[in-house]
């Protein structure tokens, strides 16, 4: 499945790139934003419209976001978008991974859980 | 026409073939030079700088631009190494694409660079230490610390302090409050009497004397003391007590500090030893002495699931909250919004000494090299000042609906409402804006635009080609 | 089965009249009117604060009427009570043996003597019919909970064939019927042709089989009264010819009665009209005469006990 | 300002059955400020609809309750098969009046007239009863904020300053009492409030204001 990912410049984006190095089996399209708080609902949906099944948001740990609440905002927005998508019955999702630049296992975990979850959905 | 530089450093491998290809394609000459060279002789006003690495190298380049007052928007990066590794097949195509894009569209960045240098004077509040003064004088920075009452107002990057006798303009303010330690929660008399509640420092001494086998120990960490030392100690104590003496450990805090890299590990270890971490509002914790006065009933509500906890603790240890003794300037306001200035945290998210208010520094210790460090920080701030690029954020006047959302959501209190009656519009103050773009995300009328310091066509770059897992 | 229902079942041309309770507590007023009407009508409508003027409650008046040996038709309007009160009153009335109910929306309070009042209109007449019908047939409240005990009720509705949009009226009637109206009392008929056209529509839809339609008539005392009705009462169509006739007439009262009787005669001939509803407002004393002259007398006897 | 909530997406999609080209029309005033029907939300809904296979476009009108503003969209609206209006009920109706032939669907449930109490929380403050009495109640409107609209409250259910109907809701009369107490005007709460005149309110039917002097 096609995955797009957005990372914040402080932690998320470096982590994403490092992740792609260490796990070459994953291919995803990466973009950077100054802070995850920049990502808003319509932006997420636009990205999903570009034919991705999954949008992965990677940002600083919730309680140590440089902009204090950026990651949290993004997280809440993502939840809202997911709610909308489920409501509308669209099989696309937005996932969040809160990472530090050197801790990329989280990304893998999130991706795997999502993938397995979707497998579960399909009978 | 503008000059285009590709600056490399150390053993960057410069993608010469691609660059040449592009040069031919759109007829631009790209000079490839080392960052180490001496550019002092040249005029770099209109230069477009390209860099090959995205990680630490980027900071160096930005610094480079900053010192030569080059519009940061003219500095663009392409993570050549990374992209090569990740997309080996498409890398060069991507790079060419990037070059063409940036070189083609560079005219679209009006390079209006305003260099705002703060006054080379410092105001120290509430009172001035002799030692500090002479440290500052070493840096040739005059220091003021007039007698109250006087008013401190922000004026651009400077602060104007005006009393009835004097009127000064200073570039920076150093707050030196005397910190008082007090328990983060109200401790009733009868609880005090049990002697089972004590600050971290006293508990330290207790460790050798008392046994904690199978005992319940509660650590209460006040929100005002995110000091890394305290946290580290709490983590360590919690871990060791539960490991060596099988003690039952609770750590109650409003935020659990895991930001610093090694803390991640500490935290996980401590958890694995069986210590319980709970986020809760400290002020809502209720303490009661047990009948035998040999322990305390601890009552609180977990933040996660609002679950009401009540258990018996043998020891309650609190990390005292450190609040400044009130003095003239103990609260700072922008408009009518108070600004959080007084937190003595070595929060890794913020640079040392600095507060959320640009140019205001805060210090807590009283020793020589600490002063020195502080003075250096202030000095660098005063000498480099801040580059304000006027078109980095923009509020589209005709779109803004004055919903005040940005005002409420901006984490840096950088936004205020300007203008009269119907012409009122949100305005972003450069001195405080950190370009986080949160306001942009929230603005319901999408009136706020943030062209950040990073290439916004990045998405396009990395998406081409590489789709499938 | 209520007496009115039985009369209509037996296919006898039914006669009902209207009694307005007093603006006070003297029950004698109601008793007097009822005794006048007793032998000449099959049932008496007791109005529920008509034109939003506060009066002795319809419920109480119905009981008084029964004591006088007249079968009451309890009117219920949605203006003053919400679904809770209406349902409870309905239960109470059933418990006390009132069997005929006429569900109306009710005049707006701004017409009455308490224009500042807050109206309820929680539900409208059609919904009320539906609710009461469910309580009768399915033994459930509007919320779906079940109720205990016998509910003997003969539900009716009002309808005005003369109000706009005319062509929609018959469909509204159909709605009421499907909601559970077993009998219908129409607005007063003066323009018989128009009413006939309406009935045609009704027959087309076969409503006259599903429900018993009682045409309303009003005996008028004077040309002034008639003109007043023409101007003030909304949704009344009064042909100019009638007005002339009243004005020309030497004895308006007599003329009024005459007109009323003629109208009733005409109505008898229209297929699907099962009876008349004589609304002699503040002139109940005339009803017996009208009934006799339009030879609807004697009325069938109530089986005693 | 007028506060609305977005209808469930499923409901909107059901309404749009049988249409392909859809215009999602935001309103740039109240509903933008309460973050339910502004440009952002319109974009959002549009892309959701696109994901569901509609040809959805999003546009914004300054105020949908103004004919003139709507009429500027003539071409855009006539080009599409159906319109989802994210304006309040007023806007939807005015829009429909302007383009009687185009099917217009509400995308919002207009909930109340209220104010933002803090970021992301809006509360009802006025129910437009047509005869304002707040000054009698320490400027807390009991008609709106008391579940029973008591003018001589509080009722027996007020517990801990909260309403018995919804425990998370403040008891309006608690607020009134506190306010009046702080103003030292408690005695004015002692006088019995007469029954309110509701004829100025909706209960008198649709309301209308006419200013002869400013009419054309």
Architecture of domain B181-322: 3-Layer(bba) Sandwich (3.50)
pTM value is 0.63
Q: Which domain holds residue A99?
A: 3-115
Question: Cα D179 from chain centroid?
Answer: 27
Q: Considering only CB atoms, which residues of chain D are within 8 Å of chain B?
A: 28-29, 32-33, 35, 38-41, 43, 118-119
Helix (H) or strand (E) holding B96: helix B91-105
| Per-residue pLDDT reduced to its tens digit, A63-93 | 777 777 888 899 999 999 999 999 989 888 8
Question: What is the band of B110 on the pLDDT scale with cuts at 50, 70, 90?
Answer: very low
- Give the pLDDT score at B358: 66
- What is the distance in angstroms between the Cα of A55 and the nearest Cα belonging to chain D? 15
Of the candidates A40, A41, A49, the beta carbon closest to that of D51 is on A49
Using N-to-C axis directions, what is the helix angle for C166-179 and C192-204, rounded to 10°? 50
| Per-residue pLDDT reduced to its tens digit, D125-158 | 999 999 999 999 999 999 999 888 888 878 888 8
CB B426 within 8 A of CB B445: no
**Residue whose tokens read 């306010």:** D179
Nearest C-alpha neighbor of B197 from the set B181, B185, B179:
B185
* Interval C66-77 mean pLDDT: 93
Choice between B330 and A30, residue whose per-residue pLDDT is larger: A30
Mean pLDDT in chain B? 74
In a domain, A122, yes or no: no
pLDDT at residue B76 is higher than 80: no
- Give the pLDDT score at A109: 87
**B408:D119 CB<8 A:** yes
- Give the pLDDT score at B460: 37
Which chain B residues are within 8 Å of D40, Cβ to Cβ? 443-446
Question: What is the band of B444 on the pLDDT scale with cuts at 50, 70, 90?
Answer: confident
Print burial letters for B397-432: b (CB count within 10 Å at least 16), e (below 16).
eebbbebebbbbbbbbbbbbeeeeeeeebbbbbbbb
Architecture of domain B393-450: 2-Layer Sandwich (3.30)
What CATH number did the domain enclosing A31 receive?
A: 3.40.1400
**A49:D40 CB<8 A:** no
Q: Is B438 on the interface with D (CB under 8 A)?
A: no
**Average pLDDT for consecutive 10-residue bins of chain D (216 residues)?**
93 93 93 91 92 92 91 87 94 94 94 91 92 92 90 83 86 91 88 86 88 86
| Per-residue pLDDT reduced to its tens digit, C236-254 | 888 989 999 999 999 989 9
Nearest CA in chain A to B349: A66
| Per-residue pLDDT reduced to its tens digit, C26-51 | 999 999 999 999 899 999 999 999 88
Helix (H) or strand (E) holding B67: helix B56-67
Q: Where are the domains of chain B?
A: 3-114+454-465, 122-178+325-384, 181-322, 393-450
Alpha helices in chain C (DSSP H): 3-9, 27-37, 58-67, 83-95, 125-137, 166-179, 192-204, 207-210, 223-232, 240-248, 252-269, 287-293
Q: Hey, what are C47's tokens? A: 């109005």
Number of domains into which chain A is organized: 1
Q: Taking phi first (over 0 means left), then psi (-120 to 50 degrees means alpha), and beta for anything else, what does residue C7 get?
A: alpha
In a domain, A121, yes or no: no
The number of C-alpha atoms within 13 Å of D100 and in the hemisphere containing its C-beta is: 1
Nearest C-alpha neighbor of B77 from the set B51, B96, B56:
B51
Whole-number Å distance between alpha carbons of B78 and B54: 6
pLDDT at residue C76 is higher than 90: yes
**B401:D41 CB<8 A:** no
**C117:D198 CB<8 A:** yes
Write down all domains in chain D, each with its CATH number in brackets: 2-111 (3.40.50.2300), 128-193 (no CATH)
Question: What is the band of B454 on the pLDDT scale with cuts at 50, 70, 90?
Answer: very low
Q: Is B84 on the interface with A (CB under 8 A)?
A: no
Q: Is D43 on the interface with A (CB under 8 A)?
A: yes
Which chain D residues are within 8 Å of C110, Cβ to Cβ? 199, 204-205
Architecture of domain B122-178+325-384: 3-Layer(bba) Sandwich (3.50)
CB A61 within 8 A of CB A42: no
Q: Hey, what are B266's tokens? A: 């500490």
Which chain C residues are within 8 Å of D197, Cβ to Cβ? 116
- Give the pLDDT score at C214: 96
**D204:C110 CB<8 A:** yes
- Give the pLDDT score at B468: 37
Whole-number Å distance between alpha carbons of B237 and A47: 47
In a domain, A40, yes or no: yes
- Complex prediction ipTM: 0.73
Nearest C-alpha neighbor of D21 from the set D76, D62, D74, D69:
D76
User: Is the torsion defined by CA of C170, C171, C177, C179 positive or negative?
Assistant: negative
Choosing among 1.10.1660, 2.40.420, 1.10.10, 3.40.50, the CATH entry for B3-114+454-465 is: 3.40.50
**B264:A65 CB<8 A:** no
At A104 the three-state DSSP class reads: coil
Write down all domains in chain C, each with its CATH number in brackets: 3-293 (3.20.20.220)
Alpha carbon distance, N-terminus to C-terminus of chain C: 13
Choice between B278 and C277, residue whose per-residue pLDDT is larger: C277
Nearest C-alpha neighbor of C15 from the set C220, C183, C197, C231:
C183
- Which stretch of A41-50, B136-145, B446-455 has the lowest confidence by average pLDDT? B446-455
- Which stretch of B338-352, B447-461, C82-96, C217-231 has the lowest confidence by average pLDDT? B447-461
* Interval C123-137 mean pLDDT: 93
Residues 6 or more apart whose CB falls under 8 angstroms from that of A80 comprise: A41
Radius of gyration of chain C (CA): 18
Question: Cα D134 from chain centroid?
Answer: 20
| Per-residue pLDDT reduced to its tens digit, B377-402 | 888 778 766 544 445 667 777 888 88
CB D22 within 8 A of CB D51: no
DSSP chain D: -EEEEEPPHHHHHHHTTT--EEEEEEESSHHHHTTSSSHHHHHHHHHHHHHTT-EEEEEEES-TT-HHHHHTTHHHHHHSSEEEE-S-HHHHHHHHHH-TTS-EEE-EEEEEEEEEEETTEEEEEE---SS--GGGGTT--HHHHSTT--SS---TT-BTTB-SS-TTSBPHHHHHHHHHHHHT-THHHHSPPPPP-GGGSGGGSS-----GGG--
């Amino acid at each position: 499945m096609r995955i797009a990912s957005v990372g914040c410049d402080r932690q998320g984006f470096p982590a994403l790139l490092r992740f792609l190095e260490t796990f070459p089996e994953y291919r995803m399209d990466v973009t950077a934003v100054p802070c995850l708080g920049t990502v808003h609902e319509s932006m997420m949906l636009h990205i999903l419209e570009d034919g991705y099944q999954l949008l992965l948001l990677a940002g600083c740990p919730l309680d140590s976001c440089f902009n204090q609440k950026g990651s949290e905002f993004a997280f809440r927005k993502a939840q809202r978008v997911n709610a909308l998508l489920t409501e509308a019955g669209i099989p696309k999702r937005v996932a969040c991974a809160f990472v530090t630049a050197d801790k990329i296992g989280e990304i893998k975990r999130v991706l795997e859980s999502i993938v397995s979850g979707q497998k579960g959905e399909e009978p | 026409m503008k000059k285009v530089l590709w600056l490399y450093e150390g053993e960057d491998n410069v993608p010469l073939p691609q660059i040449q290809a592009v040069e031919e394609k759109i007829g631009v000459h790209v000079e490839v030079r080392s960052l180490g060279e001496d550019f002092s002789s040249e005029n770099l006003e209109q230069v477009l700088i390209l860099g090959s690495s995205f990680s630490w190298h980027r900071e160096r380049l930005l610094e480079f631009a900053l010192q030569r007052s080059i519009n940061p928007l003219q500095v663009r990066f392409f993570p050549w190494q990374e992209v090569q590794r990740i997309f080996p097949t498409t890398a060069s195509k991507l790079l060419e694409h990037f070059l063409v894009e940036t070189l083609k569209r560079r005219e679209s960045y009006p390079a209006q660079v305003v260099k705002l240098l703060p006054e080379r004077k410092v105001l120290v509040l509430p009172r001035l230490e002799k030692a500090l003064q002479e440290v500052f004088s070493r840096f040739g920075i005059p220091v003021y610390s007039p007698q109250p009452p006087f008013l401190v107002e922000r004026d651009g990057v400077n602060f104007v302090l005006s009393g009835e006798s004097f009127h000064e303009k200073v570039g920076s303010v150093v707050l030196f409050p005397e910190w008082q330690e007090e328990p983060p929660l109200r401790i009733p008399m009868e609880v005090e009497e049990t002697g089972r509640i004590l600050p971290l420092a006293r508990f330290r001494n207790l460790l050798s004397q008392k046994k904690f086998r199978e005992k319940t120990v509660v650590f209460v960490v006040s929100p005002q003391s995110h000091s890394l030392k305290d946290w580290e100690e709490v983590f360590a104590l919690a871990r060791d007590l539960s490991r060596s003496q099988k003690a039952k450990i609770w750590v109650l805090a409003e935020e659990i500090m895991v930001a610093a890299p090694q803390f991640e590990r500490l935290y996980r270890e401590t958890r694995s030893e069986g210590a319980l971490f709970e986020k809760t509002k400290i002020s809502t914790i209720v303490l009661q002495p047990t009948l035998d006065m040999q322990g305390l009933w601890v009552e609180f509500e977990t933040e996660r699931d609002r679950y009401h906890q009540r258990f018996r603790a043998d020891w309650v240890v609190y990390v005292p909250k450190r609040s400044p003794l009130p003095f003239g300037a103990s609260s700072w306001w922008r408009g009518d919004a108070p600004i959080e200035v007084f937190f003595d945290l070595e929060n890794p998210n913020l640079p040392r000494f600095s507060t959320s208010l640009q140019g205001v520094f805060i210090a807590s210790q009283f020793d020589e090299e600490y002063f020195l460090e502080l003075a250096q920080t202030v000095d660098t701030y005063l000498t480099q000042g801040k580059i304000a690029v006027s078109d980095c954020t923009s509020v589209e006047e005709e779109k803004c609906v004055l919903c005040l959302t940005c005002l409420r959501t901006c984490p840096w209190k950088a936004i205020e409402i300007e203008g009269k009656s119907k012409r009122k519009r949100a305005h972003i103050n450069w001195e405080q804006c950190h370009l986080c773009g949160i306001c942009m995300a929230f603005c319901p009328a999408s009136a706020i635009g943030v062209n950040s310091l990073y290439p916004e066509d990045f998405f396009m770059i990395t998406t081409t080609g590489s789709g499938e897992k | 089965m209520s007496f009115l229902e039985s009369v209509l079942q037996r296919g006898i041309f039914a006669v009902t009249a209207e009694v307005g309770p007093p603006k006070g507590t003297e029950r004698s007023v109601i008793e007097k009117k009822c005794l006048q009407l007793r032998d000449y009508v099959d049932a008496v409508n007791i109005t529920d604060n008509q034109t939003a003027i506060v009066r002795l409650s319809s419920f109480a008046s119905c009981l008084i009427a029964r004591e006088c040996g007249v079968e009451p038709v309890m009117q219920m309007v949605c203006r003053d009570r919400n679904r809770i009160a209406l349902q409870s009153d309905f239960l109470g009335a059933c418990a006390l043996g009132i069997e005929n109910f006429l569900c109306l929306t009710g005049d707006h309070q701004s017409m009455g003597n308490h224009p500042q009042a807050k109206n309820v209109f929680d539900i409208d007449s059609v919904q009320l019919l539906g609710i009461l019908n469910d309580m009768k047939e399915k033994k459930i409240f509007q919320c779906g909970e079940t109720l205990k005990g016998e509910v003997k009720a003969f539900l009716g509705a009002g309808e005005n064939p003369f109000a706009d949009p005319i062509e929609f009226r018959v469909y509204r009637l159909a709605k009421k019927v499907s909601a559970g109206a077993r009998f219908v009392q129409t607005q007063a008929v003066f323009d018989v042709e128009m009413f006939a056209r309406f009935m045609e529509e009704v027959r087309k839809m076969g409503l006259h089989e599903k429900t018993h339609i009682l045409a309303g008539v009003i005996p008028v005392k004077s040309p002034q009264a008639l003109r007043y009705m023409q101007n003030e009462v909304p949704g009344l169509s009064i042909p100019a010819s009638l007005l002339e006739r009243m004005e020309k007439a030497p004895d308006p009262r007599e003329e009024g009665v005459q007109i009323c009787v003629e109208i009733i005669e005409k109505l008898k001939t229209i297929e699907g009209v099962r009876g008349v509803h004589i609304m002699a407002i503040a002139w109940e004393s005339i009803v017996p005469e009208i009934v006799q002259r339009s030879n609807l007398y004697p009325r069938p006897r109530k089986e005693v006990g | 300002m007028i506060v609305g909530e977005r209808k469930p997406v499923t409901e909107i999609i059901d309404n749009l059955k049988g249409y392909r080209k859809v215009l999602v029309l935001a309103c740039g005033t109240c509903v933008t400020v309460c973050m339910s029907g502004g440009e952002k939300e319109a974009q959002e809904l549009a892309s959701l609809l696109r994901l569901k296979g509609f040809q959805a476009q999003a546009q914004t009108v300054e105020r949908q309750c103004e004919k003139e503003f709507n009429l500027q969209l003539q071409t855009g609206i006539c080009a599409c098969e159906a319109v989802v209006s994210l304006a309040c009920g007023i806007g939807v109706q005015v829009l429909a009046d302007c383009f009687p032939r185009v099917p217009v669907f509400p995308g919002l449930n207009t909930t109340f007239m209220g104010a933002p109490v803090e970021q992301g929380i809006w509360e009802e403050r006025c129910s437009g009863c047509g005869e304002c009495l707040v000054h009698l109640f320490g400027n807390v409107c009991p008609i709106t904020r008391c579940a029973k609209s008591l003018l001589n409250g509080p009722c027996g259910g007020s517990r801990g300053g909260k309403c018995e109907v919804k425990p998370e809701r403040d008891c309006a009369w608690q607020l009134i009492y506190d306010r009046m107490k702080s103003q030292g005007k408690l005695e004015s709460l002692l006088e019995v409030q007469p029954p309110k005149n509701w004829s100025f309110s909706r209960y008198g039917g649709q309301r209308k204001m006419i200013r002869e002097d400013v009419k054309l």
